[in-house]
Structure 1
């Protein structure tokens, strides 16, 4: 058996391997074999009997846990198997905490350590009370905005007649009269007074990062940021003003509104609020949003492109945003972004974990046109693609008219676009039409 995420081979024992045992205990558990090389072959292990006594003792004394230690023999040589089960409590080694992620054992520090310890205590960062905050720190205008949005979404139980304090209690944003961090993030008058970097930075760049044309910085609570950031994007960054309420609207030669809105919401709801500010960058040919905070454990970049469970970093904040109609609770945010770009004829967005955070990049429409040209489309078919992007669909008669060709040629060339998964064909007879399906697959 080869080395895996929960299996390690070591030719001899070293006390430094206690870090690996600590990492396994804090993660999903695992096994370390002492007396096997990197290929899993058994090698001669000196003092195997004494190690059988010393290893469990060191683990117990320095980690405070129990492990299963077994002595095995193969081809006349002995090796030791150390089985570590996952622990529900945090395990430390000489005051330091280690965690096994993939095939790597890393020391947890800073925000990662804080989140880990909170999880082990059955808490998340946003579910902790903020002793310095009172109801005087809550912006009632933001609360009213949320209630109006929640009424439209129909996801909030009847709260008529409730005071702000009672409403926050009902939304699980307070505990025994004490506000939680989530309440300050969502509705605080000045959340930056409590937590740094309650900010969204926006920059318009030219050819590269060194070519900064202008920038804007927006501060405030989450509810106000959603409005202020989109207003700034419309006013100074987009060449065409877009309606962020009408999610089905797609601007010609602009980025799809649904994708931008979903990207912004994901960044605000799922960010690490003790880390760096959210950063929005617009270039001549791309638009990106980065937020502090890596993907949740067990969730990969590939999983974001398909149906996957929702594992919010800030579940209290996410629940309120769900009730307000801003997000759903099915982990479909990234799928919506992919679908919106496909419908708009844009290349697939680039999603990556970068610098301790999550980055998603949208690319301009003209890149899609280049891909279509490379796909071997003729001028008539490219003209039809442009027509569909502007008008939503095309039929055989229109194809004939705009290209001055007969019905047979139009039928053949439209079918080619369907076969290449660029168009989809629906209906029959007079109801027959061709719609955008995406870049050829």
Structure 2
């Protein structure tokens, strides 16, 4: 029996065992047998209980929480008691030593029969591949951070800028190291937003370029001011511009490299955010206002600073500012989520857009012949998408002409005077 990619021997417990566990979590899983020397000779473990306790405490020093992926149990080999540590492949990679942080001396990978520190480039690649679900909570690779913008913003809100609130908001972790959420809110935030004004439909005719840098809070203010300079005639609802911007930052996938982009044309604005919709969310659920944030703690922080309202209200604020002829367009493309807002002072381009008839009369005619209508049937009657059908039905309910029956997928609509 020899050491290999999935098997490691340890004569006795040492602190280095936690590095081995991390390396297996980040690779293909494996097994550590304590009480066997490097030559494969069984020597056994003297103080079984103490050794097992120290191993368990070592696992507790790994982030993200890896306890459910590691089992520790006594085994008998060649008549001697040893300890077998079985490590499964972790689902929240990369794993790292909490005290060291997510840097080379804290992140390890199993390569052949040895445990090797990962390079910063390899760590970032693993975050991009596996780390979407917990990016905010991971320790920032950069710890020399300043928070001038955040401090000013919190002072205006009469909020203290101290250790307790930074811990509570998860800007600091439990060992006083900055998290990636802290990185996003810091003056050193590496993620940027780029804006381009294009005079004609050709993207080669570039009239103005801007790149917004620094804290997400600064980028939000700067980008909104920039957009407002192109909206002096109120071609777009200011609230819609604000909501689209905040959603770009809150829902962006920060494990993906590259910037968010804003393209400003004469007749529309296009907002391109890195990353696609998270699992379980579809374009249909987005259009009707269902929301689940990829960056939950960032969303909560924006809420506490009164930059956003509660989850799910933003989409309605975007839609409510436009008439049916200029209804915003939501599209998912490879690697990006795109929102298009149309200039209300331009005649709508009907190609590929929904019929500009508001559809209310069509639905009333249908309901006079049928006892009820579903949202899906409404889309068929109006030959439109779920967004327009939802809005037309909502208007009829508000006007008291139609009543809503049930909730969720079983929702139906009937004439108010019908049973």
TM-score w.r.t. length of structure 1: 0.49
Distance 2:136 2:286 in 1: 23
Is the 8 Å Cα contact of residues 204 and 214 (structure 1) preserved in structure 2?
A: yes
Q: Which secondary structure does the structure 2 equivalent of 1:207 belong to?
A: coil
Q: Closer, same or farther in 2 for the Cα pair 1:185/1:351, shift >3 Å?
A: same
Deviation at 1:330, TM superposition (A): 2.1
Matches within 5 A, 1:30-429: 90=91, 114=127, 117-118=130-131, 124-134=134-144, 137-149=145-157, 162-175=160-173, 176-186=175-185, 188-192=186-190, 198-205=191-198, 206-235=200-229, 237-240=230-233, 251=234, 254-273=235-254, 274-308=256-290, 310-342=291-323, 346-367=325-346
Distance 1:375 1:127 in 2: 46
Q: Which moved more, 1:110-119 or 1:318-327?
A: 110-119
Deviation at 1:363, TM superposition (A): 1.3
Deviation at 1:131, TM superposition (A): 4.8
Q: Which runs of 5+ in 2 are unaligned?
A: 1-68, 70-87, 94-109, 111-121, 359-391, 401-419
> What are the Cα deviations for residues 259-313 of structure 1, in whole angstroms up to 9, with x where unaligned?
11111111112112242111111111111110101101011111111142x3211
Aligned positions, number: 246
- Cross-structure match for 1:245: none
> What are the Cα deviations for residues 365-398 of structure 1, in whole angstroms up to 9, with x where unaligned?
2455677xx9699xxxxxxxxxxxxxxxxxxxxx
Q: Which secondary structure does the structure 2 equivalent of 1:179 belong to?
A: coil
Q: Closer, same or farther in 2 for the Cα pair 1:269/1:370, shift >3 Å?
A: closer
Q: Which secondary structure does the structure 2 equivalent of 1:261 belong to?
A: helix
Deviation at 1:112, TM superposition (A): 9.1
Is the 8 Å Cα contact of residues 130 and 179 (structure 1) preserved in structure 2?
A: yes
Q: Which secondary structure does the structure 2 equivalent of 1:360 belong to?
A: strand
Deviation at 1:238, TM superposition (A): 3.2
Q: Closer, same or farther in 2 for the Cα pair 1:191/1:335, shift >3 Å?
A: same
Distance 1:173 1:202 in 2: 28
More helix by share: 1
> What are the Cα deviations for residues 116-151 of structure 1, in whole angstroms up to 9, with x where unaligned?
6446xxx611111125314xx2223422313534x6
Is the 8 Å Cα contact of residues 149 and 187 (structure 2) preserved in structure 1?
A: no
Is the 8 Å Cα contact of residues 304 and 335 (structure 1) preserved in structure 2?
A: no
Is the 8 Å Cα contact of residues 294 and 356 (structure 1) preserved in structure 2?
A: yes
Distance 2:295 2:357 in 1: 47
Distance 1:146 1:346 in 2: 40
Q: Which secondary structure does the structure 2 equivalent of 1:359 belong to?
A: strand
Distance 2:249 2:92 in 1: 31
> What are the Cα deviations for residues 18-75 of structure 1, in whole angstroms up to 9, with x where unaligned?
xxxxxxxxxxxxxxxxxxxxxxxxxxxxxxxxxxxxxxxxxxxxxx9xxxxxxxxxxx
Is the 8 Å Cα contact of residues 202 and 281 (structure 1) preserved in structure 2?
A: yes
Distance 2:250 2:342 in 1: 23
TM-score w.r.t. length of structure 2: 0.51
Is the 8 Å Cα contact of residues 305 and 334 (structure 1) preserved in structure 2?
A: yes
Q: Closer, same or farther in 2 for the Cα pair 1:111/1:287, shift >3 Å?
A: farther
Distance 1:358 1:305 in 2: 13
Q: Which secondary structure does the structure 1 equivalent of 2:142 belong to?
A: coil
Deviation at 1:199, TM superposition (A): 1.4
> What are the Cα deviations for residues 75-132 of structure 1, in whole angstroms up to 9, with x where unaligned?
xxxxxxxxxxxx995499xx9xxxxxxxxxxxxx99896366446xxx6111111253
Q: Which secondary structure does the structure 2 equivalent of 1:174 belong to?
A: coil
Deviation at 1:224, TM superposition (A): 0.7
Distance 1:113 1:311 in 2: 24
Is the 8 Å Cα contact of residues 346 and 364 (structure 1) preserved in structure 2?
A: no
Deviation at 1:181, TM superposition (A): 1.0
Q: Closer, same or farther in 2 for the Cα pair 1:183/1:110, shift >3 Å?
A: closer
